[in-house]
Amino acid sequence: MKKLILLVLMTLLSTAAWGYDARMAQHFGRYFEPFDGKETSKACKFVKAPGFIKALKSDKKPFVIDVRTPAESAIISLGVTDKLVAPMNKVFTPENLSKIPTNRRVVVVCKAGVRAMAIATALRNTGFDNVYVLKGGLDGLAKYLNPKCAYGSK
C-alpha cells in the first residue's frame, strides 16, 4: 500500500513539471531577460512619486490606469482627468483596452504597487510598450506628497 501511495505521489508531482506551457515559458524567459541586477528597476519601468508629480504638471501628462477596487477608489480618488478606473479583473475587456492610448506614457497605479506591477506586465505582454508602474503605489505617493510639493515648486 505504501508503495502504491508513493507511486501515485511521484506521478502527480512529476506531471506538474511536464504540464507547463513551454512556449509561454520561453516567451517570459525572453521578457524577463533584461531584469538583471541593477537594471531590474529600469526594466520594470517604475516611475517614482516625484517623477509622476512632475509629469502630471507637464504638457505631456501620462494616462493613468487605477486598478484598485471600486471600494478603494470611492474612498480615495485620483484627481487626474485623463484616466481609466478599472479593477484588475476589468482591465482586459475590449472596451477598457480600447481606452488605453498607445502614443503616450501610461502609468498604472494601485494602493502599494503590487497589482499595478502585475497589470503593467500583462499589458506589456499584450503589446503596450509604453506602460509604467507608480513605484510604491498611492501609499508611496502619499508619503512623498506634502502641501509644498503638491501645490508649490518642489
Q: Is residue 73 part of a domain?
A: yes
Which pLDDT belongs to residue 4?
Answer: 62
Q: Is residue 35 part of a domain?
A: no
Q: With beta carbons less than 8 A apart as the criterion, state whether 86 and 65 touch.
A: yes
Which pLDDT belongs to residue 18?
Answer: 62
Q: Is residue 2 part of a domain?
A: no
What amino acid is encoded at 123 in this protein? Answer: L
Which pLDDT belongs to residue 105?
Answer: 96
Which pLDDT belongs to residue 150?
Answer: 52
Which pLDDT belongs to residue 65?
Answer: 98
Straight-line distance from the first to the last Cα atom of the chain, in angstroms, rounded to the nearest whole number = 72
Q: Is residue 69 part of a domain?
A: yes
Domain of residue 101 covers 41-151
Q: Is residue 64 part of a domain?
A: yes
For the purposes of burial, counting CB atoms within 10 Å of the CB of 39, is it exposed (0-12), middle (13-18) or buried (19 or more)? exposed
Q: Is residue 12 part of a domain?
A: no
Which pLDDT belongs to residue 151?
Answer: 56
CATH number of 129's domain:
3.40.250.10
pTM above 0.85, yes or no: no
- Which DSSP helix (H) or strand (E) runs through 64? strand 63-66
Which pLDDT belongs to residue 31?
Answer: 81
User: Measuring CA to CA, which residue among 42, 102, 109 is closest to residue 80?
Assistant: 109
**Sign of the four-CA dihedral 48, 54, 58, 61:** positive
Q: Residue-wise pLDDT tens for the chain (154 aa)?
A: 666 666 666 666 655 556 778 888 888 888 888 878 777 767 789 999 999 999 999 999 999 999 999 999 989 888 898 999 999 999 999 999 999 999 999 999 999 999 999 999 999 999 999 999 999 999 999 999 875 555 555 4
Dump the DSSP string for 4-25. HHHHHHHHHHHHHHHTS-HHHH
Residue 38, C-alpha cell as written in the block: 541593477
Domain count, the chain: 1
Which pLDDT belongs to residue 154?
Answer: 46
Q: Is residue 144 part of a domain?
A: yes
Q: Is residue 90 part of a domain?
A: yes
